[in-house]
Amino acid sequence: MKKIAIAASMMVMSAGSAFAADPAVGLWKTQPGDTGGYLHVEISECGSNICGTIKEAISADGSKGSQNGYEHLGKRMLWDMKSKGNGAYAGGKVWAADRDKTYKSKMHLNGNKLTVKGCVGPICRGQDWTRLK
């Protein structure tokens, strides 16, 4: 009977960690771009990786993309990002809205700040995103 109780409790403990969400999952605010506008990006688990989708675009005057017809609402912005441990992610792609180009990507999570970088060879540029939820 004791063996069954121990086995059951071990299964419950391991199931809890298996169902824990990736720490980067949530709603993030990008840094303002050249025009002063910014995006809200929803990061979620996509299989064993994570991906991000544009949920809202806010222009410099505060109007929302859902009100002013922003064409990229719902567009995937991050995909195939793999956790490397200790807040590091790599192996994925990022779409840069300001350049309309896709780059190899890496990210680093530190508390409520997510540094997202797009790279061409050894040259990278990036932004710090702030967690909203």
Q: Which of 12-16, 88-92, 129-133 has the lowest mean pLDDT?
A: 12-16
- 26: Cβ–Cβ under 8 A, 6 or more apart, which residues? 42, 43, 131, 132, 133
* Mean residue pLDDT across the chain: 86
pLDDT band at 16 (very low <50, low <70, confident <90, very high): very low
Q: What is the mean pLDDT of residues 95-112?
A: 94
The 10s digit of each residue's pLDDT in 72-82 is 999 999 999 99
Q: Domains (ranges, CATH) in the chain?
A: 22-131 (2.40.128.520)
pLDDT band at 17 (very low <50, low <70, confident <90, very high): very low
Per the CB < 8 A criterion, the answer to whether 53 and 74 are in contact is yes
C-alpha to C-alpha distance for 129 and 127, rounded to whole angstroms: 6
Both tokens of 91, joined, read 């192996």
H, E, C per residue of the chain: CHHHHHHHHHHHHHHHHHCCCCCCCEEEECCCCCCCCEEEEEEEEECCEEEEEEEEEECCCCCEHHHHCCCCCCCEEEEEEEEEECCEEEEEEEEECCCCEEEEEEEEEECCEEEEEEEECCEEEEEEEEECC
pTM score, whole prediction: 0.81
